[in-house]
Homo-oligomer: A and B are copies of this chain.
Amino acid sequence: MLGIEQIASYLPPLRISNFDRKAEFEIDDNFIDAKIGFRAVSRMEADDTTSTLCEKAYARLEEKVAIDRNALQAVIVVTQNPDANIPHVSAILHGRLGLPEQCACFDISLGCSGYVHGLSIALSFMAANGMSRGLLFTADPYSRIIDPDDKNTALLFGDGATVTLLSDAPMFAPGQFGFGTIGQDSAELRVRDDALYMNGRAIFNFAARHIPKDIKRVLAANSREISDIDSFVFHQGSRYIVETIANALGVPKTKVSFGAAEYGNTVSSSVPMILETEMQANDTNLILVSGFGVGLSWASTVLKRTQVKS
């Protein structure tokens, strides 16, 4: 059985405080703490790129777990902000990390739903091809495409990256997945004239309307109830959307993480950044993960602990 052996994250140290921008954007403390929930957003260095963020996440992974690079058979990067559109970021990483020739590399273009999609895509690809060790990266530095004067995006998005070691010695393995797309609304969150445009209200309404329904379907597909789940890791779009989804499902606050207050919405990295922490907790045997955003799209699954925590 293939699944998640380990996750490592990288958050650049630079932060932009949203409290310093209260006057500019005509917002108050309540908007920052209760509505968006992001006290600051993380920013990569000027010489960082998507691939260097991934490399820094990978360095963290090697601090956590010994990796035989020659045994890696797949490298998959989820991003919509590659270094350049050609080549894919996974090929650049393949070269920098000195990986073996018989290693399949490709990028997946998805946003905030990308990690959960990527788990299914990567694990099914690896299983079908008899692969036992691979890397799933997420890195989508929206600072490259954000208009710093756009209140709808500038206060929300943080830069960061994660890497997940997928292997046949997993700590967690996914059950049934649920996926969805509402392509007719895809223009509500897009790049237009090289800058990110987001209709925040439309995205909120989309998530509030569809994600609780989808999570109920996925729980049913896994023969689980809300009460069976030890931890709910939703995409950290804002504190308000996380709480709205939790309330709609009747999930107790203690089981829902909002961990992005000090760095912002890191797009496809938001779920694995929280999951990295939740995996280490003593009492998490079943974790529901759900990502939603660009597309508009979503993906959810239930992760089950496969090893007794030592």
Contacts and interface: CB of A to CB of B under 8 A. Distances in A.
9 contacts: A84-B191, A93-B183, A94-B182, A95-B182, A101-B180, A102-B178, A105-B183, A120-B129, A121-B125
A108 interface: yes
A296 B86 CA distance: 11
A91 B191 CA distance: 14
A297 B105 contact: yes
Contacts of A178: 102
Interface in A68-95: 75, 80-82, 84-95
A184 interface: yes
A248 interface: no
B82 A186 contact: no
Contact of A107 (B89, B95, B105, B109): B109
B85 A295 contact: no
A117 interface: yes
Given A91-B294, A124-B128, A127-B124, A181 B85 contact: no
Top 9 A-B pairs, shortest CB-CB distance: A94-B183, A95-B183, A124-B128, A104-B179, A107-B109, A95-B184, A91-B295, A124-B124, A91-B186
A255 interface: no
Given A125-B120, A128-B120, A186-B95, A88 B104 contact: no
A104 B96 CA distance: 32
Given A93-B183, A110-B106, A184-B95, A87 B129 contact: no
A189 interface: yes
A117 B124 contact: no
- For A87, A128, A184, which residue has the most chain B Cβ atoms within 10 angstroms? A87
Contacts of A87: 80, 111, 186-187, 189-190, 294-295
A192 interface: yes
The contact size tier of chain A is 35 or more
Nearest to A99: B183
B189 A86 contact: yes
Contacts of A128: 120, 123-124, 127-128
Contacts of A297: 91, 104-105
Contacts of A183: 90-96, 99, 105
Contacts of A251: none
A279 to B, nearest CB: 22
A124 B131 CA distance: 13
A128 B296 CA distance: 23
Contacts of A172: none
A58 interface: no
A256 interface: no
Interface string A171-213: 0000011111111111101111000100000000000001000
